[in-house]
Amino acid sequence: MGITFRKETFRDDFTFKNSPEHIRRFPFPFNEDAYMYAVNIEPHVVGPKGSVLENLIDVDEHYFAEMQDRALVLAEDPLRCQSLPHMTLAGWDLLELLMEQQALGYPEHFTLERDGDRWRWINRPLGIDDTFTFGDTSTLPYGPMEYITRQSQGDFCILDQRDGNLWMDAGMVTTQADWSLDFDIGMNFFEWHAPVPLAHEKGIFTRALKFLTNIQQGKPARRLNWTMTINPRLDTSPENYHKWGPDRATVTPENVGDKVHLRVELQSFWRLPRSNGIVFPIRCYLIKMDELVTQPKWARRLHRVIRDLPEELATYKGLTRYRPTLVEWLSKLDDGSPTSPGFGPD
Amino acid sequence: MSTGTTKLDVVVSDVVPVNDLVTRFHFRRRDGELLPTFSGGAHVVVEMRDGDRTRLNPYSLMGSPLDTREYTISIRRDDVGRGGSLFMHRQVKPGLEMVISYPVNLFSLDLRAKKHLMLAGGIGITPFMAQTSQLAGAGGNFELHYTCRTASLGTYADVLRERYGSRVRLYHDDREERIDLDRLLSSQPLGTHLYVCGPAGMINWVRDRAASLGWPSETVHFEHFAAPQPGAPFDVTLAVSGKTIRVGEQQSLLEAIEAAGVDPPYLCRGGVCGQCETNVISSDGKFIHNDHWLSEEDHRSGCKIMPCVSRFEGKSLVLER
């Protein structure tokens, strides 16, 4: 049985919703009642059936609508997809990875046939059936990275590894939490993380870089990151700040449940075999408060996390303006009883 | 979490003597599937089970990265080494089942380069076999300068000349042919990257000259695998695991630690990647540091050791393992 893809929007009338099954599989990012940075990296191995980790590249009910939204963003702003000239080989690596993983996890929706370097790719949800020569860019309608990331949920940064550092030299970034590929392109790991508060002092980036440059082929890793977004808007980019920034002033006690969304990024890290680069998929999951609080444990825990979040982090994540309203709303769902360990709902 | 690599179960599919010193080994997967794709410059670690001892040595993959039906490595026989190459030359025959690591690349091409200038010495030719295949397939601009002792010991010189013609320059020691290094380094177009793999003396010479002639260090790449050297046996206490072990004459400290059932992370086993860096808790004696990872200050401090290649002489050594 395949996935039923929802017809929904991430802009204008914001019809995005999660089905009850998708609420339960939401990757809730807090395993305790408080949050602070940690190098929370673990091996990216297959997880339980029915979770977002059932496959290493997750496809869900929002696939079709997310791909439509990406096409709209790119039509308005082609610079959301960039690849420096030396990154084409890494683009082919990524195309192979995403085609293999999607075909493996969802054979009813995707098929990859390979005959030497003659490849046929069938993407049923998007009505694509293309035959091309692997390695020959002229046989695809776009460059290899753009071609496959127009058909894959999540943002993708491809990092070149050289001089003991990682360099943001290619990417497809349309579902980002307020950062810009066009601004960061060509920067190294420390440069693009410069705005993050507190973590530098803790030496987190030095350790994280050491870990990432040692990621081995066949052994991907992952971590979760989170923020909050007003309205289910995928494209919260600095370029479009004028469209979404003012939304933060629209939160009222009456509309918290519908407007405020927890935004979780499942970030994974993979060594690319031909280019020796690293690909960093950033998969964004959204859930509105009304949906999240259907799981009482999550409601209690989120209340405590947001209430006790250090001020610098609240500012960095852009929560300052509506935090009191949100905490007040969540407090009514927190009877003070303990929460069970672990991420999952009770 | 461990940063080691995944293992591959392989079978030796061919053993081909190349010349008096060098033999080539071919591996295929035992399950008949394709091997993982790799990038030019990558190595694998080969596990050599020789009676009751296991050696693990890194070797560059030398086949084309475009062909993953088999991996090939070439090994130069070292009659005074720890015996890994002798084991491979004497005991490894087609059909033998072996275990190798996934490929790891610590000598990667910089794909921004407008031109790749490669300098090889002796068996240091092997990573360039794969890199030239990769670049040739993609229309890349490269030039290879290869120094060998004699024409008959010029491993793969004939193959390379046939494939790439004048892009390959050969220099024979017995004919007193020498690279005019300063001239070569001074006449390269902007955007050239330099790669060197060979004996330590050659690597140091090339790096020194490149630095003197103003090459930015980011454009100079080198593969500096030090094979572990044999030496006098010594005793070590592993404080964390509460074990005392003896490192044999032909054994590396890392191998001795592994033989005791303790598994530090590793990637290169050649003193360059930094994975197996180990803190010294106390010592009374002299360290023989052979790595290229720790700083000189670290070496002098006596607080750290790279057990893959370095040794110790003295009364006592206690490690945080």
pLDDT in tens, A1-43: 689 999 999 999 999 999 999 999 999 999 989 887 666 778 8
pLDDT digits over B35-77, tens only? 999 999 999 999 999 888 888 889 999 999 888 999 999 999 9
What's the full length of chain A, in residues? Answer: 346
pLDDT value, residue B225: 64
pLDDT value, residue B229: 81
Query: For chain A, how many structural domains are there in total?
Result: 1
Chain A CB contacts of B112 under 8 Å are 84-86, 160
Residue A69 in domain:
yes
Mutation to test the A interface, candidates B39, B133, B215, most A Cβ within 10 Å: B39
Record: contact B5-A216, CB cut-off 8 A: yes
**Could you tell me what percent of chain B has a pLDDT over 90?**
80
Residue A322 in domain:
no
Which uninterrupted H or E stretch holds B195? Answer: strand B192-197
Chain A residue closest in CA terms to B111? A86
In chain B, where the domains are located: 7-105, 115-223, 234-319
CB contact at 8 A, A24 and A130: no
DSSP A180: -
Residue A343 in domain:
no
Residue A111 in domain:
yes
User: Taking the domain B234-319, which CATH number applies?
Assistant: 3.10.20.30
Smallest Cβ distance to A89: which of B103, B111, B218? B111
- Alpha-carbon distance values, A133 to A89, A136, A139 (Å): 14, 5, 6
Q: pLDDT at residue B221 above 70?
A: yes
Examine the residue annotation and report whether A223 is marked as an active-site residue of this protein: yes
CATH topology for B7-105? Elongation Factor Tu (Ef-tu); domain 3 (2.40.30)
Which uninterrupted H or E stretch holds A82? Answer: strand A81-83
pLDDT value, residue A29: 94
Q: What is B93-157 written as a DSSP string?
A: -TT-EEEEEPPEESS---TT-SEEEEEEEGGGGHHHHHHHHHHHHTT--EEEEEEESSGGG-TTH
Domain residues for the domain of A109 are 20-291
Residue B33: partners with Cβ closer than 8 Å, 6 or more residues away: none
Q: Tell me the pTM.
A: 0.88
B residues 239..268 contacting A (CB < 8 A): 267
pLDDT digits over A235-279, tens only? 999 999 999 989 989 999 999 999 999 999 999 999 999 999 999
Give B2's pLDDT tier (boundaries 50, 70, 90).
very low
CATH topology for B115-223? Rossmann fold (3.40.50)
SS3 state of residue A76:
helix
CB contact at 8 A, B85 and B77: yes
Q: What is B111-126 written as a DSSP string?
A: TT-SEEEEEEEGGGGH
- The more confidently predicted of residues A209 and B46 is B46
Residue A328 in domain:
no
Distance of CA B13 to the CA centre of its chain: 22
Record: contact A42-B5, CB cut-off 8 A: no
DSSP A132: E
CA distance A281 to A276: 16
Record: contact A214-B267, CB cut-off 8 A: yes
Tokens of B271: 């003193």
Record: contact B39-A274, CB cut-off 8 A: yes
Q: pLDDT at residue B15 above 90?
A: yes
CB contact at 8 A, B59 and B70: no
Chain A CB contacts of B36 under 8 Å are 217-218, 273
pLDDT value, residue A1: 65
